[in-house]
Chain A
């Protein structure tokens, strides 16, 4: 047992209170489903209708929570287990689906290409503390109707890290699932992907995302219910009010998944955002947004569900002081709160822009944060009384010379790679942003990646070609 810092925000009693309020909301105010077919699933199972809303009774929620798995074993593409979600796995992955990319030195982001996504995949593959890939960029040079699925291709082809993804359409999800299946036959039994599905606040579900939840539940692929209350706009401006609404939304997603398939793996997720009081911009890492995340982290713990958040990112436009500060404080909060999946690294400007340099710098933050949250050992050797005594009495007080120091320094001390800790004489007047760019350039030139074997790739290419045929286009390969 290692002592480690942990962050809890609400007590069990407070969690119970918020949970009861959310249950009350679901049963009295209900949820709106854009897709009547989806609403029917709940109505057939015992929910009632009130105008265009579905009132979900408490028993139905309780039944769903009973069936939802408390832990999900999570694997990489090649079938190696990487974590158990539900244990505070702390899987950092790039903030997903950015519509722009910010080049080194640029002040204006540009629209990304499929090649950019491949480059991002290679960079992430080489970043030690970014544990999973994500479909992080929306490539502008691909047909709009298949863009969601196209994004999976470079990841599956070049990376063996797990993937956080999602669909923008109902039609492409089955194709994406097929892509997974050709990559690894048991991709559904030993999952290496998580699909985000976002309700539309307040308390409603679009056709696409609700259908996605259903199809994922049927397939047995983990879905992440990412509620996005907009404090002061689509949710109360009060933190606890937004948390209750958030909770009710996530519960509605869990109910839907469990009604379709008992035991369907679901992750309690979220991306709360404060609407800026003057500009109306959605602030993902405002303290108020962060507090909502911390509250629902404890709600997920209360319900024994794996959890996810959007933290470890920034709303800044540049890779600057604000970017670093927002990144670090939110990533540390997420780690200490014990989230399983944390989406965010690389991201800027209200979840819309990715930067490769920021990914490299965020990797440093993730490393620091993981070090803090790992805590420390307290074995007799680590307590080191004999070492202290020997060094003081017989070794002149210099611990550097004691073998104990060498024995433990590698496991005890995290050494950042890009962060500057040089003495001035070795510094070279370079900023960490420049260093990050050097690293990006180096990784793109010499970084390693794990390409699929030729026969598996050939199978993947077949599915990929069919996907492009649907858009009446020739497939673009990267």
Chain B
């Protein structure tokens, strides 16, 4: 099958929530020489976006969302992650990732987690619907250098600012790079709330974090 055809069937397998097919086609895509990043940004992320839209339109239900997320996760964990150039630049650096309070979308966070881990970061995943206090506690206890705050909805973005306030309140803000991530996040928003890195794109965010850490 040609590369474009393979991309299409992988895209459909993720939307249909069929992990077996998704794993097979992802393997074939890599064998055909397609870059891991391309698989994520051109196939997996758009497929998951469509799944989200189908849910919003009422065509997909929770069980469908979960099946697609499972297909996505299996491809990421079993096919893509092992192929990411296992860099060592992040070795020894702890990064705390989570989706902010009131938000249960974790696609973007999981992509970022996979990329950071591939670069050698030790990623602590707090999951979804994480309150500001929890972010701050773990940053403190694990001496994290990076904290990633994911929010998919414009209504929950404000929580990113609250996490920063909490970090400041505990005197932790100076020691940590704050990544404000998620589809609705803009550079303007990042400036406004006083975060360091705009994470509207996980690859871009990783690059910026590495620059700030001086490890590029």
Contacts and interface: CB of A to CB of B under 8 A. Distances in A.
A409 interface: yes
Contact of B58 (A406, A415, A425): A415
Contacts of A415: 58, 61
A400 B58 contact: no
B63 A409 contact: yes
A400 B63 contact: yes
Contacts, number: 17
B63 A405 contact: yes
Given A406-B17, A425-B102, A401 B58 contact: no
A293 to B, nearest CB: 35
Contacts of B64: 406
A414 interface: no
Say which size band chain A's interface belongs to.
under 10
A400 B66 contact: yes
Interface in A397-412: 400-401, 403, 405-406, 409
Contacts of A4: none
Q: Is the interface of A mostly helix, strand, loop or mixed?
A: helix
A409 B64 CA distance: 10
Given A406-B17, A406-B67, A400 B62 contact: yes
A401 B61 contact: no
Given A400-B66, A401-B66, A401-B70, A409 B58 contact: no
Contacts of A400: 62-63, 66
Q: Is the interface of B mostly helix, strand, loop or mixed?
A: helix
Contacts of B67: 403, 406
A405 B17 CA distance: 13
Given A401-B70, A406-B17, A417 B63 contact: no
Contacts of A401: 66, 70
Interface string A383-408: 00000000000000000110101100
Contacts of B17: 406
Interface string B48-90: 0000000000100111101100100000000000000000000
Contacts of B58: 415, 417
Nearest to A398: B66
A405 B62 CA distance: 10
Interface string B181-207: 000000000000000000000000000
Nearest to A413: B61
Contacts of A406: 17, 63-64, 67
Given A400-B63, A401-B66, A406-B67, 12 more contacts: A400-B62, A400-B66, A401-B70, A403-B67, A405-B63, A406-B17, A406-B63, A406-B64, A409-B63, A415-B61, A417-B58, A425-B102
Closest 4 CB pairs of A and B: A405-B63, A406-B63, A400-B63, A406-B67
17 contacts: A400-B62, A400-B63, A400-B66, A401-B66, A401-B70, A403-B67, A405-B63, A406-B17, A406-B63, A406-B64, A406-B67, A409-B61, A409-B63, A415-B58, A415-B61, A417-B58, A425-B102
